[in-house]
Amino acid sequence: MSLFKIVEGPIDDLALERAIRTDADGAVIVFRGVARRFSRGRDVVHLEYEAYPEMAEKVMAQIGDEMKARWPIGDVAFVHRTGVLEIGQASVVIAVAAPHRGEAFEAAQYAIDRLKQIVPIWKKEVWSDGSQWIGWEHESHQHASEQEVSAE
């Protein structure tokens, strides 16, 4: 059964795989996005994720529908974590089951790309000497509130 969830604790990828795999599937792709230490030349101490959970789960389910419309895949598990994440912890896990591997790989890549475009979730990088909400750097308007330190 496909599932689309925002959670506050660690994500159990093996449980997700068990939830989506059926005997018709010959491939299960599990993508895990993890918090990394280095970002644009700075040392990240930890990350903080915030979501609009009710809407985020609906948009993730919409992405799941888009995936199934494009590729002959089985079920999808799409889980994003919120709160404070230490380096190396998974912020997002996308698992795709399919009869064959090609479509499972492509659909998983599509899911993470779409998540970064339209799912209402925000990441804050916290450094030893400041912090910043990520997302503004791709826009023409640089935004910096008083709590934020410019990435420049």
Partner 1 sequence: MDTSARICVQVRLFASYREAAGTNRLDAELPAGASVADLVATLAERIPGLVSAPGLVAVNHTYVQSDQHLHDGDEVAFIPPVSGGA
The phi and psi torsions of 3 (rounded to 5 degrees) equal: -145, 145
Residues 23 to 42 in contact with partner 1, rule: CB under 8 A: 33-36
Binding flag, residue 128, partner 1 (CB under 8 A): no
Binding flag, residue 105, partner 1 (CB under 8 A): no
Residue 133 is encoded by which pair of tokens? Answer: 């909400």
With CA atoms as reference, report the closest residue to 87 among 40, 33, 148, 134.
Answer: 33
Return the range that interacts with partner 1 (CB under 8 A); candidates 11-19, 22-30, 64-72, 90-98: 90-98
The whole-angstrom separation of Cα 66 and Cα 55 is 17
Q: What is the DSSP letter of 127?
A: E
Residues 56 to 85 in contact with partner 1, rule: CB under 8 A: 56, 58, 80
Among 5, 42, 68, 123, binds partner 1 (CB under 8 A): 123
With CA atoms as reference, report the closest residue to 53 among 124, 122, 135, 120.
Answer: 120
Nearer to partner 1, 58 or 68 (CB): 58
Q: How far is CA 43 from CA 1, 46, 82, 129, in A?
A: 39, 9, 21, 10
CB of 92 to partner 1, least distance (A): 6
**Footprint of partner 1 (CB under 8 A):** 33-36, 49-52, 54-56, 58, 80, 90-92, 112, 115-124, 133-136, 138-141, 143, 145, 147-148
